[in-house]
Structure 1
Amino acid sequence: MKVMIVESPNKVEKLSQILGDGWTVAASYGHIRDLPKEGEKGEAVAGISLDTFEPKYVLVERAEQHTIPKLRKLVAQADEGVWLATDPDREGEAISWHLKEVLRIADSRYTRVTFNAISASTVLGALEKPRKIDFKLVKAQEGRRVTDRLIGYPGSALLREKTGNRSISAGRVQSPAVRLLAERERQIQVFKPTNHFGAEVEFDGWKAKWDTKLFLTGDSEYILDAELAALAASCRDFTVEASETKPSRKAPPAPFRTVTLMQGASVALKFNPKKTAELSQKLFEAGHITYHRTDSQNFTPEVLAEIRAYASERGWALPEKPRTWKEKDSAQEGHEAIRPTHLEVASAGDTADEQALYKLIRIRAVVSQLADAEYNVTTVRLLCAQGGKSFAFGARGQQCVKPGFEAVLATDVTDGDAAEKTAEEGESGAVPPLPVGSQILALDGRVSMLKTSAPKRYKAASLLAKLEALGIGRPSTYPTIMTTMFERGYATEEKELLYCTPLGTTLVVALIRNKVGFIEYDYTCELENELDAIASGRAEYLDVMRRVNERVEADIARARADESTNTAPRFNCPECSKPLRQIKGPNGLFWGCSGFDEGCRYAVPDENGKPGEKPPAYACPECTKPLRRIGGERGYFWGCTGYADGCKVAFPDDNGKPGKRAPTPPVSAFKCGACGNGLINRKKPGKYNFWTCSNRDCDKTYDDRAGKPVEKKAKASTH
C-alpha cells in the first residue's frame, strides 16, 4: 500500500479518485506541531532558544489526540512508501518535515511531491518528479515564526511598560500595517478642504474644461475667484490653437496573483480578504483552480498555448506572442498565476460565492492573453478672449478602432481605482479633429463648484496592496494581518472602510517615539528579503536570526533606558511605597505590589487602567476566616479561604460583595447508606434533582428517581 498525506481533508476524495487502487490518502489537518503559547520559567521568548534560535515545538492538541495516532497506523502499513504532498509553499514544506519527524519516517521510506493543481495530469505528473524535503524552505518558514517571536515578545513587553496598557502587543508585520492606518487617520484629521472653482463649455456631443494654470500665481493650486470662473464659463467664440489625433493602445490586465485577487474580489464581489482566501482555498482543494497563494502573474508555456487555442476557437483577437509580465524581485513562491485547472469549465464551485469567484478568476486568465484594445485619441486646445483676458480650454476624446480584449471584458469591474479615476477626470466625449486656426462656437458653459478631498481611507484590499508595494508580508500572511488587527482592537471596519482605533494609535505612537526598528517600513521590507534569502540559500538561518535578535535587544535596551518616552502613570503601594504593577490574572487585570517577593500582598482591582479601591474584607460567619471573591465559568461567587480546612461556606456575588445565602433545603427522612445521616434533595433549576448527605464530611451522592434517592449506577468498564 502507498500512503499520501496532504494537509486538508477536502482533498482526500478527489486525490483518491485520481490515484486509484493501491493508494490511501489521508490528511494532517494543517500543522501538527507549533510553538508553545507559554514559555518555560526564565525563558525570554516562549519556545525559542536564544543560543541556537532553534524552535521548541509542542504537539497541537487535536493532532496529538486524533491525527497522529491515525497517521502512525497508516505509515506502519505503507509497505510501498509514504508520499508527503502538503501544499507547494514554505508552510507546506514545513508541515511535511514535521510529519516526517513526528511519525518517524525514515529517509528511505518517504517522497516529497508537490502539485500546483488537483487535476489528474498535474498530480500524476508530480509523481514522476519526486524529491526530498527542501530544508532551505523549512528554515525560511521557521525563520518567519521565530522572527515573529523575537520581535513580538520583547516588543510587546516594552509597549506595556511604556504605556501601562496590558492588552497592547507588537508584531513584525502587524505593527507596520497598523501604522499605515494611523498615518492615514492623522492625514484625514488634519485635512482642511478647499472650495475652489473651474469652468467647462459644451459643444455638439463633447465638452472642454478650462485650463486654470495660466491664472495660478505663487504657491496657489486652485482658483478661488468665483467672478473669474464665471467669466471663463461665459466664453463662447473659440479659436483652435492645437489639434492632434494619435493612436493609443490599452493592454489587458495581468492574471490574478494572491493580492490582486483579494483586491479584485473586494471591488467586484464585495468580499473581504479573509473570505476570498477561504473561498479560493475551497476552489483549489476541489480541483477547480490552481494554487491560490502566489506572487507570480505568469503562466507556463503549456497553459499559454491552451489559452490561445481556446481564444482562437472563439474568434477572439490575439497578440503575435503570448503575454508575460515582469515579476517582482520579491516573488519567491515559484508558482504560476491563479487560473482554472480546466479552462473549458465555465462554472465551478459548490456555492454562489465560490462560483462568482471562479468566474472572476477564469475571465481574468483568458482576457490576460488577448490583444490590446486600440483607440484613436484626439486632443484639442482652444483659446477665447473674454473681458480683456485670454482663456484656454482643453478636451480629450477617444474612439475605439479595435476592441481587442474589451470585446470579452468590456469593463474591468475589479479595478475600482481606475473606474474612480476615469469618473473624476472624465472623457470629453466624441471630440472631433479640428483644423488648427479654425473658429468654433460653444453652445453653453457653466461654473464648476469644486472641493478638495481628504486622502481616502484604506479598504482591506487596498491596505494589503500598499503592504505588498512596500514589500511587507507575503501571500500566505495577508488574511492573517487583517484578522489580527481586528481581533486585537487596532482597527475597525465600517462600510468596507478601515478606521484606526485609539489603541492602534497608542501602539504606533509608542513604537515610533521609542524608535523601535520593526515599525519602520524599510526595515521590515529588508527583513522580509532576508527571510526570502534563506529559502534560496543566499543567507544562513542562524546569521539572520542572530542579526534580528541583536537589533531588537539593542532597540529595547535603548528604549527602556529613555524614561522620557514613558506614558504610563506610576502608582505606589500605600503599604510599602514600592511601585504597583498591572497584572493579568485568571479573572482579569488587577494591580499588585512589586514587593510581593519581600512579603507585601497588597492588591486591588483594575479600574480603567488605574488601581481601584481595595475591596472591604468580609469574614466567614462560621469560621471567621476571610471570604474571597472567585470567578468561575458561571460568574462570580464568594468562598471561604478556609476551604482547604473543611469550611465549605459560599455566597452568591451581589455587585462585588457577598449576597444572601440560599436557604438550606430541609433534611429528609431518607438515610445515607454510608453514614446514616439524613439526605437532602438538591434541585438544579431547569436541570435535574439529586441527593446529598447532610453530613458535610460525607461525600456520598444519590440520583433522584420519582422523588426518591437511588444508588448511582456504576460506569461500565472499558477493559
Structure 2
Amino acid sequence: MAKNLVIVESPAKAKTIEKFLGKDFKVESSFGHIADLPSKELGVDVDNDFKPKYIVDKDKKTLVKKLKDLAKKADLIWLASDEDREGEAISWHLAETLDLDKNKTRRIVFNSITKSAIQKAIDNPRGINYDLVNAQQARRVLDRLVGYELSPVLWKKIKPGLSAGRVQSVAVRLIVERERDIEAFTPEASFRINAEFSTANGEVFGAKLPKTFDTREEAEAFLKKNLQAAYAVSSLDKKPAKKSPSAPFTTSTLQQEASRKLYFSVARTMQVAQRLYEAGLITYMRTDSVNLSPEAINEAKQAIVSMYGERYSKVRNYKGKSKGAQEAHEAIRPTDMTLQQPKVERDQARLYELIRMRTLASQMADAELERTNVRISATTHEEEFSANGEVIKFDGFLKVYLEGKDEEDAEEQEGILPALKEGDSLRNRYITATERFTRPPYRFTEASLVKKLEELGIGRPSTYAPTISTIQNRGYIEKGTIDGSERTYRQLVLENNAIKESTLTETVGSDKGKLVPTDIGMIVNDFLVENFANILDYHFTAKVEKDFDEIASGEEDWQKVMKDFYKDFHPNVVDVEENADRASGERVLGIDPKTKRQVSARLGRFGPMVQIGTAEEEEKPLFASLLPEQSITTITFEEAMDLFKLPRKLGVYEGEEVEANVGRYGPYIRHGKKFISLEGGESAMDVDLDRAVELIQAKQKAEAPITTYEGKDVTKGTGRFGPFIKWDGMFINVSKKYDFDDLSEKDIAELIEAKKKKEAERVVKEWPEEGIRIEKARWGRHTVIKGRTKAELGKEVDISKVSLEDAKGLLDKKKPRKKSK
C-alpha cells in the first residue's frame, strides 16, 4: 500500500500527476465535489446563520467509502484540488466528509501540472484556507437562495418550469436591453464622399472627404463643384507610431479571442483549455491574473531570441485591473515555451497555439509604424480630400500575433499609399456620394457578452461559460439567425465630368450566430426588472462580487453578508408572490373586423400565441400558435390574423385529408392520424399538397416494417437519443456496434431479446391477472404501473410489503377526478 494518498478532482488530472510521482504515491480522483447542497430542497437553514446542509449524493457514496478506506491506510493525505475558491471548497469537503486526521492531511496547490510545480507544492504544503472556502460557500448559498426563492414566483406568475439566477438573469437583461435598443433605433441618413485618384505613374489610391452631407441636394452641389477641377497634393504629414502587444491571456480574454479567431463557443473554449491543463501543457485556465512568473518570462525571452533575434525581445510585466478576483497567480500560458506542437487533438492544438503565440507576443518589442496623412486640394473649391496610409517599419510582436477585434471595435483599415510629395498633380478617376445610414447597436456575441460582464464586474472566470450555457438551455436566449430586410439607398457618381445617379439595395439588420432574446426571455426579464430591481441591478450584482472578494481575503464575514442580503430580499419575494400581477407579455394588436373582438399576442401555456377574444367574455377565445420565426414583440395584426387561417386544408391523399398547421413543436403536416414535422425554413402558411405528399411518403417509407419478430412488425427510426427499432410498443436503442443501415435478422432478434430481458428484470412485483406491476426506479422511486397509469412509491416504502390493495389505491389516486355537475 502506498504511503501517500493524493486526491485531485479530475481523473485526467490524476493520470497526469501519477506520471510525476513515485511508487510511494497513489493518486485518486474525487470527480469534483463529493458533497453539495441537496437538489430537491433549499438546503440552507436561514434561521441558523444560513448554515448549509451538505449531503453526499447517492452516486458518490461508493467513491466516498473507497477514499475513506484508502485514507485510513495512508501515512499522509495530500489534498490537491485546484487553487481557486471552488478547489478549496472541494478540499474542505474531502477533509470533512472523509473525517481526515488534520495531523496527516496536507493541502497543496499548483498552477500547472508539471513535475517541478508538483514537487514544489509538496515541499510547501499548507492548511485549508477557510477564507476561500467561505467565499465559495457565500456564492453557493446566495445563488441557491436567489434561485430557490425567485423560481417558484416565476412558475406562479408566468409559467411552470422557469428559473432565475443572480448572474444568469443579469446576463439576460443585458441581451434584452440591447435588443430593445436595436428595435427602438431610428437610422439617420447622410451622404459620404469617397474618391479615387491616380499619380503621374498610374498608381491608384483612395481618399475621402472628412465631412458628410445631410441631404442629396448638398451632396450633388459638392459634386458639381468638382466638374473640371484639377487636383494636387496640398500637404503630406508623416508621423512615427508604435503598437504594443496585449497582455497574456486571462480566462475572459482567452474566451473572447478563441471566439473571434477559432469560432469556439465559451463553453467549448473552457472544455478544451481544461484538457490542456490536465495534460500539463498550460497553466491553470481560471484566472484574472495577467502576471507571468520570472521563470516564464525568462523562458519566453530565450524562445524569442532563438527564433527571431535579440531585437524582437522586450521583457514586460503586466498588472491586472481587478483586485483579488481569483487566487491564481499567473496568466494562462504554456508550461514549456519551447514546445511548439504537442501531440493532441486538433481543437486542443489550435487553442494551445493561440495561447503560446499570445504569451510570446506579450514579451516582444513594439511594432514600429509610420503613419501618413495626405491632404488633396481642388482648384474649384476649398474642401480637401484626405487619405491615410500606414507602413510597418519594424514588425516586432506583429511577427507572431495580432489581437482580434469585435465588430463594434473594428477599425477602418488603412492602406499603403504610393510615394507622394507636396505639389504633385493627381488625376481624379471618380468621386462618389453614397447615402449611408447610422447603424444600431450590435447584438452580443458570446465573446462580447463576456467582455461586457467583465467590464461591469459581474461574475468571475469560472461563471461565464455556465452562465451563457444556462440562459440558452433555459430558452431565454438563442443564437439567432436574423434575415434582415432590403433597403434602398442612393448613389451619385462623378466620372468623366458627368454626374449619374442610381438607386441601389442592401440588406440590413441581418445577423447570424448572435445572442437574441426569445419571447419568454423578454417576459421573464421584464417581470424580474419590475419586481426585483435590486437583484437585476448591474451595480448590485457587481457589489456582491466585491463582497465575495472581501470574504476571500478575510475582510468580511460571509454569514453577515448573507444576513444583509436576505433581510431585504425575502420580504420582497413574499410581497411579489402575494401581490404582483401575472405576466404574459400581452400586446393588443387590434380588433377582429368579423367578430369585433380584441386580437392580442401573448405567452400561453405552450408558448407564444395570438388570440381573438378575452377570458372575461362569455364566448371562449380563439387561439393560434406563432410561427417559429415570429415574436410577440414584433408580430403585426395582419400576420396574427393569417395564423387563424390555420389549419390550412391542402387536399386529399390516399383517401385521407391533408392539412398544414403549427403546434407546440413547430409547423407540421397532418395526414389522417399521422403528424409529420416540416423541415427547417418551411412554413405552414406556404407548403402545398405536392410538398406535403413528399413528406408523407418519406414518413411512410421510414416507418414501413423492416421485418417481423414473433409475428409482430419491427420498424426503425432515428430519435433524439439516436437510432432505434420499435417492436411491440417498445423503443429499443441501437448502439454503434450494429450497422443500423443493414440490420440482420440476428441483430434484430438480439436487440429485442436483450430489451425483453432488461424490461423483465425491472419488474420487482406484479399481479398479472390485474395487469398491475411494480417496476424498479430509474431515477429514484419505484413505480406502480397499470396500462398508461403510473404512481410513484415513496423512497421509504418496503416493496415486499406492498399489497394489491395498496397498489390499486395508489393508482386510483392518479385517476382524473370527475367534473362536478
TM class, shorter-chain normalised? 0.7 to 0.9
The alignment partner of 2:51 has SS state of coil
Whether 2:562 is the aligned partner of 1:545: answer yes
- Decide whether the 8 Å contact of 2:316 with 2:362 is kept in 1: no
The 5-angstrom pairing of residues 429-444 of structure 1 reads 429-430=416-417, 432=419, 434-435=421-422, 438=423, 440-444=425-429
| Partner residue, 2:289 | 296
Query: In 2, Cα distance between the equivalents of 1:206 and 1:374?
Result: 23
Picking from 462, 469, 488, the partner of 2:474 is: 488
Whether 2:503 is the aligned partner of 1:518: answer no
| 1:441–1:549 CA distance, 2 compared to 1 (3 A) | same
Picking from 192, 196, 214, the partner of 2:186 is: 192
Q: How many residues align?
A: 570
Query: In 1, Cα distance between the equivalents of 2:291 and 2:220?
Result: 55
Picking from 434, 447, 453, the partner of 2:432 is: 447
Structure 1 residue 183, shift from structure 2 partner = 1.0
| Partner residue, 2:151 | 156
Picking from 122, 126, 143, the partner of 1:127 is: 122
Picking from 383, 404, 412, the partner of 1:391 is: 383
Structure 1 residue 432, shift from structure 2 partner = 5.0
Structure 1 residue 538, shift from structure 2 partner = 1.4
Structure 1 residue 556, shift from structure 2 partner = 2.9
User: Runs of 5+ in structure 1 lacking a partner?
Assistant: 40-44, 570-583, 585-605, 609-682, 700-719
- Decide whether the 8 Å contact of 1:372 with 1:405 is kept in 2: yes
| 1:94–1:223 CA distance, 2 compared to 1 (3 A) | farther
| 1:97–1:447 CA distance, 2 compared to 1 (3 A) | same
- Decide whether the 8 Å contact of 2:389 with 2:417 is kept in 1: yes
- Decide whether the 8 Å contact of 1:319 with 1:372 is kept in 2: no
| Partner residue, 1:421 | 410
- Decide whether the 8 Å contact of 2:297 with 2:315 is kept in 1: no
Picking from 319, 328, 345, the partner of 1:351 is: 345
Picking from 270, 286, 296, the partner of 2:279 is: 286
Query: In 2, Cα distance between the equivalents of 1:404 and 1:338?
Result: 22
Structure 1 residue 377, shift from structure 2 partner = 1.1
Whether 2:61 is the aligned partner of 1:81: answer no
Query: In 2, Cα distance between the equivalents of 1:53 and 1:152?
Result: 15
- Decide whether the 8 Å contact of 1:31 with 1:60 is kept in 2: no
| Residue identity matched to 1:486 | Q
| Residue identity matched to 1:266 | S
Listed one character per residue, the Cα deviations across residues 461-502 of structure 1 (whole Å, up to 9, x for unaligned) are: 211111111111111111100111011110111442111111
Query: In 2, Cα distance between the equivalents of 1:560 and 1:696?
Result: 45
| Residue identity matched to 2:551 | I
Whether 2:22 is the aligned partner of 1:20: answer yes
Query: In 1, Cα distance between the equivalents of 2:513 and 2:300?
Result: 35
| 1:381–1:558 CA distance, 2 compared to 1 (3 A) | farther
Whether 2:524 is the aligned partner of 1:507: answer yes
The alignment partner of 1:508 has SS state of helix
| 1:228–1:131 CA distance, 2 compared to 1 (3 A) | farther
| Partner residue, 1:638 | none
- Decide whether the 8 Å contact of 1:293 with 1:476 is kept in 2: yes
- Decide whether the 8 Å contact of 1:82 with 1:111 is kept in 2: yes
Structure 1 residue 152, shift from structure 2 partner = 1.9
Listed one character per residue, the Cα deviations across residues 186-214 of structure 1 (whole Å, up to 9, x for unaligned) are: 1222223344321122244432211216x
Structure 1 residue 416, shift from structure 2 partner = 4.5
| 1:392–1:505 CA distance, 2 compared to 1 (3 A) | same
| 1:378–1:50 CA distance, 2 compared to 1 (3 A) | farther
Query: In 2, Cα distance between the equivalents of 1:11 and 1:114?
Result: 13
| Residue identity matched to 2:468 | M
Normalising by structure 2, what TM-score? Answer: 0.65
Query: In 1, Cα distance between the equivalents of 2:454 and 2:179?
Result: 20
Structure 1 residue 27, shift from structure 2 partner = 0.4
Query: In 1, Cα distance between the equivalents of 2:118 and 2:127?
Result: 17
| Partner residue, 2:48 | 51
Query: In 1, Cα distance between the equivalents of 2:139 and 2:207?
Result: 55
Deviates more, 1:296-305 or 1:151-160: 151-160
The alignment partner of 1:52 has SS state of coil
Structure 1 residue 243, shift from structure 2 partner = 3.4
The 5-angstrom pairing of residues 230-249 of structure 1 reads 230-231=223-224, 236-238=229-231, 242-249=235-242
| 1:698–1:456 CA distance, 2 compared to 1 (3 A) | closer
Query: In 2, Cα distance between the equivalents of 1:698 and 1:324?
Result: 71
| Residue identity matched to 1:96 | S
Query: In 1, Cα distance between the equivalents of 2:581 and 2:371?
Result: 61
Structure 1 residue 697, shift from structure 2 partner = 11
| Partner residue, 1:366 | 360
Deviates more, 1:337-346 or 1:442-451: 442-451
Higher RCO (C-alpha 8 Å, min separation 6): 1
| Partner residue, 1:141 | 136
| 1:110–1:558 CA distance, 2 compared to 1 (3 A) | same
- Decide whether the 8 Å contact of 2:315 with 2:363 is kept in 1: no
The alignment partner of 1:479 has SS state of helix
Whether 2:90 is the aligned partner of 1:95: answer yes
- Decide whether the 8 Å contact of 1:151 with 1:170 is kept in 2: yes
| 1:392–1:47 CA distance, 2 compared to 1 (3 A) | same
Query: In 2, Cα distance between the equivalents of 1:567 and 1:249?
Result: 55
| Partner residue, 1:475 | 461
| 1:2–1:183 CA distance, 2 compared to 1 (3 A) | same
Structure 1 residue 330, shift from structure 2 partner = 5.4
| Partner residue, 2:64 | 68
Query: In 2, Cα distance between the equivalents of 1:50 and 1:693?
Result: 48
| 1:73–1:462 CA distance, 2 compared to 1 (3 A) | same
Whether 2:393 is the aligned partner of 1:407: answer no
Listed one character per residue, the Cα deviations across residues 635-659 of structure 1 (whole Å, up to 9, x for unaligned) are: xxxxxxxxxxxxxxxxxxxxxxxxx
What is the percent sequence identity of the aligned residues? 34
Query: In 1, Cα distance between the equivalents of 2:419 and 2:772?
Result: 102
- Decide whether the 8 Å contact of 2:523 with 2:584 is kept in 1: no
The 5-angstrom pairing of residues 610-621 of structure 1 reads none
| 1:186–1:566 CA distance, 2 compared to 1 (3 A) | closer
The alignment partner of 1:329 has SS state of coil
Listed one character per residue, the Cα deviations across residues 77-133 of structure 1 (whole Å, up to 9, x for unaligned) are: 10x210000011100000000000010002111000011111111110111111000
Picking from 544, 550, 553, the partner of 1:536 is: 553
Listed one character per residue, the Cα deviations across residues 622-677 of structure 1 (whole Å, up to 9, x for unaligned) are: xxxxxxxxxxxxxxxxxxxxxxxxxxxxxxxxxxxxxxxxxxxxxxxxxxxxxxxx
Query: In 2, Cα distance between the equivalents of 1:230 and 1:548?
Result: 65
Query: In 1, Cα distance between the equivalents of 2:67 and 2:59?
Result: 13
| Partner residue, 2:103 | 108
Listed one character per residue, the Cα deviations across residues 249-298 of structure 1 (whole Å, up to 9, x for unaligned) are: 00112211111111111111111111111111011111111100111112
| Residue identity matched to 1:177 | A
Deviates more, 1:272-281 or 1:450-459: 450-459
Structural RMSD (CA): 3.1
| Residue identity matched to 1:429 | I
Structure 1 residue 440, shift from structure 2 partner = 3.7
| Residue identity matched to 2:355 | I
User: Runs of 5+ in structure 2 lacking a partner?
Assistant: 481-511, 587-604, 606-622, 626-727, 731-751, 774-821
| Partner residue, 2:801 | none
Structure 1 residue 233, shift from structure 2 partner = 6.7
| 1:153–1:197 CA distance, 2 compared to 1 (3 A) | same
